[in-house]
Amino acid sequence: MSIFIHVPAGLTRHETSGYSVVMAFWCKVIVLVGLALLWPETAIVFSAAAPEPEQPQSVPAEEYPFYDLAVEAKFLTSRTRLVLIERMTAIRLHPEEPQLPTAAWFAEQEFFDGRLPKDLIRDFVAKAQRPARLDARFTFGVRYRFVSGEGVPDTEAAVPVLPAAWPVEEEGDGDALAILDRLAFSRVGLTLRGDQALLYVANQRPNATGAGFLFWFVRRQGRWEIYDTEVLWVAQPDQNPSGRR
């Protein structure tokens, strides 16, 4: 912002003292106005320039059929009535593994006897570097609810369900309402040709038991199916999760 000062014509070099008084006055005004304007403007500029926290991306819709296949094949029983699902995808493949998975780590572990295609591993690893948000797109036929972190239920549920803490009701056949607590899914890795897929699913239960699984899918005649499954770790009561790391 430029400030122009008009000096009256009557002020000449013969009136030096008056000119000095006027200039001193305007200098003080400029300094005070500048201090009043500069700092608020600077604060506004920095506030506007500060980047907003990056929002996690949502899992693409084409990955949910793999989740459904894994849940139906491995985790659902005839008594399952409610499934609790971690809202954010898993990015670590072992409860005690602090590092994110890498292609080198996969090579060391030799999952599925080292038969996984390299491009499948690369895509899986790339997608596992940051968590993504799961949405209500599951279609495995059982009611489910999202939970976050230590089990705090999200306000959003896929369908109206009873809170997990409510008393279990008996059904007509005498079976109790079974709650699968809980499942955590990774993103789904795909080969370049789109004919094979890889998924990690963890089932960590409130009683400290559970296990982690890798699901290897193949597409045959236009249909996806589970080709093989490998157990990565198993947790028993009062024991640390065991398995290859």
Name 6's Cβ contacts closer than 8 Å, sequence gap at least 6. none
Q: So what's the pLDDT on residue 98?
A: 84
The reply to whether 6 falls in a domain is no
The number of domains in the chain is 2
The reply to whether 56 falls in a domain is no
The reply to whether 104 falls in a domain is yes
Give me the residues of the chain with pLDDT under 50, please.
1-16, 42-47, 160-176
Residue-number span of the structural domain to which 75 is assigned: 61-235
Q: Say if residue 134 is in the same domain as residue 36.
A: no
Q: Say if residue 92 is in the same domain as residue 176.
A: yes
Q: So what's the pLDDT on residue 151?
A: 56
C-alpha separations of 229 from 3, 25, 123, 182 in Å: 75, 84, 18, 19
The pTM assigned to this predicted structure is: 0.71
Distance between CA 181 and CA 85 in Å, rounded?
A: 8
Q: Say if residue 35 is in the same domain as residue 72.
A: no
Tokens 């999952």 found at: 111
The reply to whether 3 falls in a domain is no
Q: Say if residue 34 is in the same domain as residue 65.
A: no
Q: So what's the pLDDT on residue 16?
A: 46
Q: Say if residue 27 is in the same domain as residue 86.
A: no
Distance between CA 80 and CA 237 in Å, rounded?
A: 22
Q: Say if residue 78 is in the same domain as residue 42.
A: no
Q: Pairing state of beta strands 80-86 and 178-185?
A: parallel
Q: Say if residue 105 is in the same domain as residue 205.
A: yes
Q: So what's the pLDDT on residue 237?
A: 76
The reply to whether 5 falls in a domain is no
